[in-house]
Amino acid sequence: MTQDTILANARLVLPDEVITGHVVLRDGLIAEIGTGAAVPADALDCEGDFIAPGLIELHTDNLERHMSPRPKVSWPHAPAILAHDRELAGTGITTVFDAMRVGSIPTGKGRYLKYARELSSEMLALRAQGVLKISHFLHLRAEICSETLTEELAEFTADDRVGIVSLMDHTPGQRQFRDIDKMKAYVMGKNNLTENEFAQHVAKLQGLQNRLGAQHEAAAVAEAGRLGAVLASHDDTTSDQVGVSAAHGVVVAEFPTTVEAAEACRDKGIAIIMGAPNLVRGGSHSGNVAASDLAERDLLDILSSDYVPAALLLSAVQLGEMWGDMARGIATVTRTPARSVGLKDRGDIAVGQRADLVRFARIDGMAAAREVFSQGRQVA
């Protein structure tokens, strides 16, 4: 017989409220929910800690950090994937869309080489072997300003668990890199370029955009449809750019850089994703709009940990306290991201949902994950 797991005397973060109660996990699903602080003899006493749905991460570059832990250092993919998987589990993330760049620049200095197809195959193989603790999908970051985007996208099939294709355009002078000086400091430091080499780099990227940008953008939109993936935009800055995104069928907007763009997303019914580190730090590291400003204007729907996995839970709790509604804050990292990408079996504490849960406490201003369950199995 399957043994139930009972988490009792907890503050359960339900879709619209927080209640004191217990939850029963059975056969990988949530089987029962009850109210009250009673602790049955065979239950775990959560001592008033919060229990929320497992966190849903739509965009994280964390895997790339494990693949290259130091500049010019490459780490074997399989150990990098395992380390990434376990790090996310430890922060309360139970479903992740791993961001992988497609579209490379194999020529010249400061080049970007292809890696996504090989990495995703290794990810799927590890999943098939049952060694991953949490649920992994792919998020293909389609780099419009590249040389090989169309060819790389063609290598993926509907069997690859591609959940998101995002339109990424890092052409200097617009979107994330409107401020060339900020781009200069970032790119020169990262790639050890001279002033002249940076100028050549900018000219090359702008040339690629002029020559291939429209073709690549159309191909990425078409490939998202072929793969059955949700389409996302990235770094929309103006209302006109949002209009183009909406015409393409974009469902979620990652990191709009201005209030203007965020307001246009709201008008078009496009869900707005902002970075959890932006919220925790109190502003954007690249000088764009602060996540807190959008939250105060009711222009924030989903949070992404981006480059700091531990920021996801903390930022959602901070939003809950800012809004005076913990259920609403937690929904930005659970129910709302799940529904935005078509996942209906997770993201809520409700009978019949996957038993993906995180128990956490507020300690000295932090949100500390104490225990994490994926399909009823404790993974952290």
The C-alpha atoms of residue 304 and residue 301 are separated, in whole angstroms, by 10
Which helix (H) or strand (E) is 225 found in, with range?
helix 195-227
Produce one character per residue of 180-217: b if its CB has 16 or more CB atoms within 10 Å, e if not.
Answer: eeebbeebbeeeebeeebbeebbebbbebbeebbeebb
The C-alpha atoms of residue 337 and residue 347 are separated, in whole angstroms, by 8
The C-alpha atoms of residue 345 and residue 16 are separated, in whole angstroms, by 17
Bridge partner list, 290: none
Q: Give 30's pLDDT tier (boundaries 50, 70, 90).
A: very high
CA angle 276, 281, 285 (to 5 degrees): 85
What are 322's two structure tokens?
């800012």
Provide mean pLDDT across the span 199-206. 68
pTM of the model: 0.91
Tens of pLDDT, residue by residue over 35-66, are 999 999 899 999 999 999 999 999 999 999 99
Q: What is the pLDDT of residue 214?
A: 84
- CB-CB neighbours of 3 under 10 Å: 8
Is 90 exceeded by the pLDDT of residue 333?
A: yes
Q: What is the pLDDT of residue 24?
A: 98
Is 90 exceeded by the pLDDT of residue 8?
A: yes
Q: What is the pLDDT of residue 1?
A: 52
User: 140, 154 in Cβ contact below 8 A?
Assistant: no
> Residue 138 burial by CB count (10 A; 0-12/13-18/19+): exposed, middle or buried?
buried
Provide mean pLDDT across the span 181-191. 58
Give the domains, in start order, of the chain with CATH numbers. 54-347 (3.20.20.140)
Half-sphere exposure (Cβ direction) of 81: Cα atoms closer than 13 Å:
26
Task: For residue 46, give the nearest of 28, 25, 31 by alpha carbon.
Answer: 25
Least confident interval from 18-32, 57-71, 316-330:
57-71
Torsion angle, alpha carbons of 366, 132, 331, 65, to 10: 60
CA angle 101, 87, 61 (to 5 degrees): 20
Q: What is the pLDDT of residue 181?
A: 61
Q: What is the pLDDT of residue 113?
A: 84
Q: What is the pLDDT of residue 197?
A: 67
Q: How high does pLDDT run on average in the chain?
A: 91
Half-sphere exposure (Cβ direction) of 327: Cα atoms closer than 13 Å:
11
What are 8's two structure tokens?
């009792």
Q: What is the pLDDT of residue 170?
A: 64
Is 80 exceeded by the pLDDT of residue 188?
A: no
Produce one character per residue of 83-120: b if its CB has 16 or more CB atoms within 10 Å, e if not.
Answer: bbbebbbebbbbbbbbbbbbbbbeeeebeeebbbbebb
Task: For residue 124, give the nearest of 102, 87, 157, 153 by alpha carbon.
Answer: 157
Largest pairwise CA distance in the chain: 71
**Residue that wins the pLDDT comparison between 305 and 204:** 305
The C-alpha atoms of residue 166 and residue 229 are separated, in whole angstroms, by 10
The C-alpha atoms of residue 149 and residue 221 are separated, in whole angstroms, by 12
Residue 319 phi/psi, 5° resolution? -65, -45
For residue 336, give the 3-state DSSP assignment: helix
